[in-house]
Structure 1
Amino acid sequence: MDILSVVERFGEAPAGAIFGLITGIIFGVAAQRSNFCLRAATVEFARGSLGPRVSVWLLTFSTAVVWVQAAELAGLMRSDEARMMAVTGSWSGAVIGGLMFGAGMVLARGCSGRLLVLAATGNLRSVVSGLIFAVIAQMSLKGALAPLRDRLASLWMTEGGRNMHILDTIGLPDGTGLGIGIATALVALYLSRRNRIGVPILFFASGVGFAVAVGWVLTFGLSQVSFEPVTITSATFTGPSASTLMFFLEPDPVLDFDIGLVPGVFVGAFLSAAVAGKLKFQGFEGESNMRKAMIGAALMGFGGMLAGGCAIGAGVSGGSIFAGTAWLALFCMWIGAVVTDFVIDQKGARVAA
């Protein structure tokens, strides 16, 4: 794709939205077909299994690292120019926000990206939870919850006015990230074979990781040909969900990558589910589940904004460029999810039995 020709034909802002749409469609199709979900992987892990959900998540994460690191070595992007790396990171935000997001995605039965994919297939529970998530995320960004978010984020910040690049800080040579990604992918393929996961699922799981790389490469390429500053970013759903909500509420909305991303995921997941014959309206299963889903969505909205990204934004996109706070946030998301599953779901099941 000739990025310059797209910019010359449509303009810089519409080009950014188009690139977001492309990234979103790839993500939506791949996530719907592979059933990619961090919540499902953490619950499986919490219950003592390295099963198919863990295998799919690990393959997605590792292929994202491989694609992104390979693109950087090829000169198609520079992670040090990504917004996540170019601004001060928050260690305290990663810890507190990560724990909150992990707990929230277990209660809501899906992370923010998974809720968007499910909403596109007719899951009304995900529609309601997704709207709550977007509203709370916007409140945490610029509304009533913003002062609290700022206060918690400022407790412990990265030094030097930038985020920490893990590999550079350790002093490892170029290509180390690609090696880590390949090694992790081999582990994921071993687990996939042990769990008898078919080739189509593996293909689409790696497609989610590929979508992350596409986002990084397209926004970086756009930044190189645009006169106006362009945020170098990739797939994430905390900020974009809030931005998409406000796009339809503000009198003078502005197009950018984020505005194309969320509709792109919805369209991709919808088309994928339609082709597979999996479009089906589904609602809440009782008052208790509805209450937990709403609380979980609120926790994810605030936690994701505090952590600097959601399970995709921090956990995969940020992880693929080895941003220090992203890896810490991902680790804390796993802890929050495992503890919540043990305390709420597993304990509840034992009491019911």
Structure 2
Amino acid sequence: MKKAVVIKQKQFSGIKSNPSLLGFGLMRLPVQVNDPEMIDETTAEKMIDFAYSYGVTYFDTAYPYHQGQSELFIGKALKKYPRDSFYLATKMPGWLVQSESDARRIFAEQLTRCQVDYFDYYLCHALNRHNVKAYQNPGVLDFLLEMKQKGKIRHLGFSFHDTPEELAKILAMTSWDFVQIQLNYLDWNLQKAKEQYDLIEKAKLPCIVMEPIRGGLLATLSSEARDIFRTADPHRSIASWALRYAASKPNVMVVLSGMSTVEQTLDNLETMTDFQPITAKEQLLINRALAAFKKNRLIPCTGCEYCLPCPHGVNIPANFRWVNEYNLHHSDEEFLLKYQRMAIEEQASACQSCQECVSKCPQRIAIPEELAKIASKIDEIIAKQREEQTVKKD
């Protein structure tokens, strides 16, 4: 196994550490075949070891990832390495915080789960206009600042999902050390990532990137978009273009990739070894591929599952995943087969439009409306098949 440190690092003023440009996201770890609720720790640890051996030093987890197992796993996986050889990031789940005592209890639990005495990077998780209110409760933000003063938090920041206007307000709340946003070549304009990036740069804070590959969407794309990339460089993976795009932004300190397989890990390591930023010619190529991809009507779901559990049992991300595949490949039979394999309560038609999921969605998707469209499309496909069968009989 390669031991040389080859993953690039960037230095930022105000940041005491010097993390690797590629960060290991721990939200989409491999799971056990017979029990998808459980992490496949053997494979996941192999991935961590590969990444560490190549110089990846930044590991990003959170309280709810893998139903709380992610923090436990990474605590065990990194225990073999010297504490000063890696940077561990986790997050405060503001939606579970009603008071300072809640924040203290959760923070103590996270230290125990992760088997550490301090966090190198600590984030207020998924801030938007709604859950930022948790940090306006008496003592909550003061507690995090106290932990920073005591060295239990080395750098304090937040991850963000909302408008540039809301970002400006949150930036003014306190003296932050860094900000984490969703940035990729699709969301640069679609989700106003450019405006957010510019605000962070203006605030003279380093930017950490999440969802550079858009939950895997930019690793698959459409056939036309894939062909553009493959013609340009048949040896480079489709995902690598998205990873390099995000890492090329000058104010980006770390690009997180939520790796699910050994193959993804090795591909990311190859992409970021001896990293070279995107050239002007390559940017034009990305623009062409994006234009081809955007011809398809896709729901901008990343599969983060923040919308779950649905009180009525609807599997929202699965419904969106299947309809996005349908809109890319246009196979009625495959779409219907995957849809009908879900339990009745998981299907889009089970949505009661209670709206509980809407405020939880970082992408601000109109979930009930999209589910209604999916249910309608399924009805249309079934009706079409019945009509075709009737014609055949006649």
> Normalising by the residue count of structure 2, what TM-score does the alignment of the two structures yield?
0.27
User: Relative to total residues, which structure has the larger strand share, 1 or 2?
Assistant: 2
User: Relative to total residues, which structure has the larger helix share, 1 or 2?
Assistant: 1
> Normalising by the residue count of structure 1, what TM-score does the alignment of the two structures yield?
0.30
- Structure having greater relative contact order (Cα 8 Å, sep ≥ 6): 1
